[in-house]
Amino acid sequence: MTNFDASFRGMKLLANLRRRMEFLLIIITVCLILIAFAYIFSENETILDTLITLLLLSLGILLWMIALFCKKIMLAKLIFENRIMYIRQAKIITTHNTPNTKKELQSSPEVFVSCFGVLIDTKVIKFNIDKVQLKAIELRENYITMTYGKGQKNETMRIFHETTSAQEMIRIAETFRYETGVIPVLVDDK
Q: Are residues 152 and 91 in the same domain?
A: yes
Q: What is the CATH number of the domain that holds 129?
A: 2.30.29
Phi, psi of 8 (to 5 degrees): -65, -45
CA-to-CA distance for 132 and 153, rounded, in angstroms? 10
Q: What is the pLDDT at residue 32?
A: 76
CA-to-CA distance for 98 and 83, rounded, in angstroms? 29
CB under 8 A, 24+ apart: contacts of 160-168 = 160/90, 160/91, 160/92, 160/93, 161/85, 161/87, 161/89, 161/90, 161/111, 162/87, 162/88, 162/89, 164/139
Q: What is the pLDDT at residue 2?
A: 45
Q: How many domains does the chain contain in total?
A: 2
Q: Are residues 89 and 173 in the same domain?
A: yes
Q: Are residues 100 and 169 in the same domain?
A: yes
Q: What is the span of the domain harbouring residue 109?
A: 83-186
DSSP letter (8 states) at residue 161: -
| Residue where one domain finishes, among candidates 81, 110, 139 | 81
Helices 3-41 and 45-81, axial angle in degrees (round to 10): 170
Measured on CA atoms in the order 68, 17, 6, 165, is the torsion positive or negative?
positive
Q: Are residues 45 and 129 in the same domain?
A: no
| Residue where one domain finishes, among candidates 66, 81, 96 | 81
Per-residue pLDDT of the chain (190 residues), as tens digits, is: 445 444 555 566 667 767 777 887 788 788 778 777 777 776 777 777 777 787 778 778 878 887 888 888 888 888 888 888 888 777 777 777 655 555 665 666 688 889 888 888 778 888 878 888 888 899 888 888 888 888 888 888 888 888 778 888 889 889 988 988 888 888 876 6
Angle, vertex CA 23, rays to CA 21 and CA 28, nearest 5: 95
How much is the pTM?
0.71
Q: Are residues 88 and 161 in the same domain?
A: yes
Measured on CA atoms in the order 67, 75, 105, 150, is the torsion positive or negative?
negative
Q: What is the pLDDT at residue 190?
A: 62
Bridge partners of 123, per DSSP, are: 120
Q: Are residues 177 and 114 in the same domain?
A: yes
Q: Are residues 88 and 74 in the same domain?
A: no
Q: What is the pLDDT at residue 29?
A: 81
Alpha-carbon torsion, ordered 105, 107, 108, 109, to 10 deg: 160
Q: Are residues 46 and 106 in the same domain?
A: no
Instruction: Please report which residue ranges of 82-187 form alpha helices under DSSP H.
Output: 166-180
| Residue where one domain finishes, among candidates 27, 61, 81 | 81
Residue 104: which residues within 8 A CB-CB, separation 6 or more? 92, 93, 94
CA-to-CA distance for 44 and 34, rounded, in angstroms? 16
